[in-house]
Amino acid sequence: MRTARMLVLLGLLLAAGCAGRDTTTGATAVAGPSPSGLAAASCGDIRLAQSQAAPEQALKCLIDAATAHRAAELVITGPTTEGDPITWRYTSTTAGTVILVIDSRQDRWAGTSAKLTTQTCTGPVLRPGMIDFASCTDPVPTAP
């Protein structure tokens, strides 16, 4: 029984050490289920501060899943220059594509261009602080 308690305690300590702030970028990783509720692995729900790049580990997670034709999801929320949040939701599919939903509805300075759009992308590639794609469809307005 004592050994089991020690293993549980060790597991909790290890989990606590892995969660929280990413010391290389200052981005906060939020643990939890896939934000869309899909049966997909979560690559993270990242909240960035001004001028921060997304953690490379989270980006690689999504790219690796798409390349392997596995379902996974990564959500990144970052501020505009004025501080309004924009959210990018990347969902890799078993077909190897990535569905990208961009939510700019809270951007007070976007005027009529503030909206929710969806694109289907292929060929994800890691770039410094971001995911780039070989190709994407044109953004399509999406109902909330």
Those residues whose C-beta lies under 8 Å from the C-beta of residue 99, and which sit 6 or more positions away, are: 90, 91, 93, 118, 119, 120, 121
Instruction: Determine contact, residues 27/48, Cβ cutoff 8 Å.
Output: yes
Q: How far is CA 136 from CA 41, 95, 112, 118, in A?
A: 22, 15, 23, 10
Residues in the chain: 144
Q: How far is CA 2 from CA 5, 15, 97, in A?
A: 5, 20, 48
Number of domains in the chain: 1
The pLDDT of residue 30 is above 60? no
Q: How far is CA 103 from CA 7, 9, 72, 82, in A?
A: 42, 40, 19, 16
Summary mean pLDDT of the chain: 79
Report the pLDDT value the prediction gives residue 114, as an integer from 0 to 100. 78
Closest CA to 122 of 98, 86, 91, 101: 98
Closest CA to 129 of 49, 72, 70: 49
In the predicted model, what is the mean pLDDT of residues 110-131?
92
Range of the domain at 110: 2-141
In the predicted model, what is the mean pLDDT of residues 120-138?
96
In the predicted model, what is the mean pLDDT of residues 109-138?
94
Q: Is the pTM of this model over 0.75?
A: no
Question: Higher confidence at residue 93 or residue 111?
Answer: 93
Residue 4 phi, psi (nearest 5): -65, -40
Bridge pairing between strands 41-47 and 85-92: unpaired
Report the pLDDT value the prediction gives residue 74, as an integer from 0 to 100. 98
